[in-house]
Amino acid sequence: MLDQKIWRKLSRGPQVILPKDAAMISALTGLQSGDTVVDAGAGSGWLAIYLGSIVAPSGKVVSYEWREDFAALAEKNAKKAGLEGVVEIRKADVFAGIAERGVDLVTLDFAESDKAVAHAFAALKPGGWCVGYHPNVEQVKAFVEAGEAAGFAHDQTVECMVRELLVRKQGCRPQTTGIMHTGYLTFLKKPAAEALKPKE
């Protein structure tokens, strides 16, 4: 089990995907122990670590990162989390392709991720999921259009906002501030094997 306080101990470089959004990804894709994940745009490695904690001990997360400094930071964080045997940080450009095949989930978190959607489709097993994280709706539209062109079905796009409650003797009410918009999560599903068979 991953220590819930690990997020306070991990180093942050580029923007990270927060646990609220990471949890939506695992919940809505049904990710479980033993699954294989490709995560592209490792950044600080937070999403790879979260996903690695779910697929462990027999699963695998391969996280692509083209920047040397970000890859080194993500690798350091994976070791801090004790997941170096599950999370592999690969210094590679995902726009050049994804080497893995038959994976359960591909997550894409970087600018112009729509240009890598076809690579995600090729990497996924039938029925697998591709999830894009985007701060702007224009990016969502491009991602969905690229996904449908590649053969994906657009399942849903969601926004997850967290607002804590003040619980006090004098009255309970929502906090005046909260973790509101961070990004949109778009879920694309690769059709099942039967649907991929050519029609006679």
Q: Domain map of the chain by residue range?
A: 14-192
Q: How is residue 101 written in tokens? A: 């095949």
Mean pLDDT over the full length of the chain: 93
Secondary structure element (H or E) that encloses residue 119, with its range: helix 117-123
Mean pLDDT of 125-152: 98
Position with higher pLDDT, 200 vs 6: 6
Region of residue 191 (phi > 0: left; psi between -120 and 50: alpha; otherwise: beta): beta
In this predicted structure, the answer to whether residue 13 has a pLDDT above a threshold of 90 is no
The pLDDT tens digits of the residues spanning 99-132 come to: 999 999 999 999 999 999 999 999 999 999 999 9
Cα–Cα distance measured from residue 155 to residue 116, given in angstroms and rounded to the nearest whole number: 18
Mean pLDDT of 4-20: 85
pLDDT score at 199: 57
Cα–Cα distance measured from residue 58 to residue 115, given in angstroms and rounded to the nearest whole number: 31
Instruction: Please say whether the beta carbons of 24 and 91 come within 8 A.
Output: no
Query: Is the peptide bond between 14 and the residue preceding it cis, with omega within 30 degrees of 0?
Result: no
pTM of the model: 0.91
Instruction: Describe the strand order of the beta sheet including 60-65 as a list of residue ranges.
Output: 87-91, 60-65, 36-40, 103-108, 124-134, 184-189, 153-159
Helix crossing, 46-55 with 19-29: angle to 10°? 40
Mean pLDDT of 42-55: 96
pLDDT score at 3: 78
Least confident of 9-13, 57-61, 168-172: 9-13
Topology (CATH level 3) of domain 14-192:
Rossmann fold (3.40.50)
Mean pLDDT of 40-45: 95
pLDDT score at 89: 97
Instruction: Please say whether the beta carbons of 184 and 157 come within 8 A.
Output: yes
